[in-house]
Structure 1
Amino acid sequence: MKTHYNRLAFSIASLLSLLLLLSSCGLTNNYAKKGEVYKELYAQKPLSILVMPPINKTNKVEAKEAVYASLFHPLVERGYYVFSPILAQELLQSESAEDAELFIDGNLKPFDNVFTADAVLFTVINKWQKIVLTNTIDVNIEYILKSTKDNKILFQRSADVTVDCKVANTSSMLLNLVANALATALSDNVVAARKANGFVLSDIPEGKYAPLHDKDQDTPAQPKDITGRVNL
């Protein structure tokens, strides 16, 4: 009986040890440090970023402009020098180089030579869908930051975001309809793009012009693919 009890105790202890090991592995994966996830970015320490016009795989033409216009500030706030999207687009157009699809898998050295950019940010809009019944918009965007020195990926994430475009209800049904229509027409595209960009780029390691530059390597990194729901 004692032998049986000892074997049972040993089995339980072994099982608990295994569960603890698996749990530790899971925690390690869930809370990987930025220094591990973005190792190449910390090694190259890019100072300047050129934002390319988004690659729009949807039929929503306005999505491209909304995303492009709202990428500048999140990167600047993270401590990077970012070329003005307006000026950059004009120069890209003059060089017939505004089509990001032609460069996302190609040699980026010319962007270093022309712009003196250390890295180029590509975005791919995979989904931009307005749901009329729920007054929401679903957005899926992929972000890829690549080095102009060796084409290596420095940062890559995607965001699947649902933006709730509803506004506060009033006592008038007509006013509700007008208010919702105005909110949707004027701001849902911009807000959806801004929210998605903010979610994703908040995880990029801080650049030279931010206080935690090269000091945030032990900070937990967010998941590579994130989902969320935000309000206007």
Structure 2
Amino acid sequence: MRFRLPAPALRAGAIALLGAALTAGCATPARYDYSAFKESRPASILVLPPLNSSPDVAATYSMLSQVTLPLAESGYYVFPVSLVDETFRQNGMSNAAEAHQVALPKLREIFGADAVLYIDIKQYGTSYALISSESRVTAEARLVDLRSGQVLWKGAASASSAEGRSSSGGLVGLLVTAVVSQIVESSTNRSHPIAGITSQRLLTAGMPNGILYGPRSPRYKTDGNTAP
């Protein structure tokens, strides 16, 4: 037996569902809890070679080469990433997964950093489709205090070469745009600059739920710092 609602009830239910969807879509992200970060006040950061969960072998070092600038501009001393990577290699750790397994006290003993940054690249590369091609880089990061072992901050960011791209002329315009973008994406390494944008969004202080300013920044507050 099928149970049928009267038409007014159906309309009321549809309105309620639409209202719930709109409310969910406009919800403000929860504010990050910076209490551990403010208590720790790290001044120096050790960046480990990023894990690469994408199929592109170039992802790790493309991202690693572009993390220093946003962190330094945010007010932190960043251990030279090339020297850190070479130190791991000289000690028999030739990939990022092995470096990520090193115990926190050992990292603290070797490098003397206040905190270590773990990065995991979830997406890196170019995807091709009939009417849309793009290079996209998505990464997650976790900052851990090397003195206490506490997680100070977690974040994620993404960037795409398709951002801001528009076309006109209906289907023909879309196809022309797709052909042009495929030529550009396939003839140049678009993923590397996109990784730089992702790195900036992920590691620049002052972003919503981003990292806090470090002690080398003029915006750093000695009374415990301020959250973005």
Q: Is the aligned partner of 1:209 residue 2:213?
A: no
Report what 2:57 is aligned to: 61
Q: Is the 8 A contact 1:165 1:180 kept in 2?
A: no
Q: CA deviation at 1:165?
A: 8.3
Report what 2:137 is aligned to: 139
- Distance in 1 of aligned mates of 2:61 and 2:99: 19
Report what 1:84 is aligned to: 80
Rate the CA distance shift 1:186–1:98 in 2: closer, same or farther, 3 A.
same
The one-letter amino acid paired with 2:134 is T
Tell me the alpha carbon deviations over residues 152-199 of structure 1, each in whole angstroms, 9 at most, x when there is no partner: 111101123322289999xxxxxx978964565444122221111111
Q: Is the aligned partner of 1:161 residue 2:159?
A: yes
Q: CA deviation at 1:70?
A: 0.6
- Distance in 1 of aligned mates of 2:164 and 2:213: 34
- Counterparts of 1:95-106 in structure 2, within 5 Å, are 95-97=91-93, 99-102=95-98, 104=100
- Distance in 1 of aligned mates of 2:51 and 2:89: 15
3-state secondary structure, aligned to 2:215: coil
TM-score normalised over the length of structure 1: 0.68
- Distance in 2 of aligned mates of 1:178 and 1:163: 13
- Distance in 2 of aligned mates of 1:178 and 1:31: 40
TM-score normalised over the length of structure 2: 0.69
Structure 2: any 5+ residue segments left out of the alignment? 1-22, 168-177, 205-209
Identity within the alignment, %: 23
Rate the CA distance shift 1:162–1:168 in 2: closer, same or farther, 3 A.
closer
Q: Is the 8 A contact 1:71 1:197 kept in 2?
A: yes
Report what 2:190 is aligned to: 188
| Equivalent residues, number | 188
Tell me the alpha carbon deviations over residues 21-66 of structure 1, each in whole angstroms, 9 at most, x when there is no partner: xx9xx98x6473xxx6222111111111111111001210111111
The one-letter amino acid paired with 1:193 is A
- Distance in 2 of aligned mates of 1:99 and 1:135: 30
- Counterparts of 1:101-120 in structure 2, within 5 Å, are 101-102=97-98, 104=100, 107-120=103-116
Rate the CA distance shift 1:64–1:181 in 2: closer, same or farther, 3 A.
farther
Rate the CA distance shift 1:84–1:186 in 2: closer, same or farther, 3 A.
farther
The one-letter amino acid paired with 1:157 is G
Report what 2:89 is aligned to: 93
3-state secondary structure, aligned to 1:60: coil
Q: Is the 8 A contact 1:136 1:166 kept in 2?
A: no
Q: CA deviation at 1:132?
A: 2.2
Q: Larger % of helix: which?
A: 1
Rate the CA distance shift 1:37–1:163 in 2: closer, same or farther, 3 A.
farther
Rate the CA distance shift 1:112–1:49 in 2: closer, same or farther, 3 A.
same
Q: Is the aligned partner of 1:124 residue 2:131?
A: no
Q: Is the 8 A contact 1:139 1:160 kept in 2?
A: yes
Equivalent residue for 2:46, pick from 46, 50, 54: 50
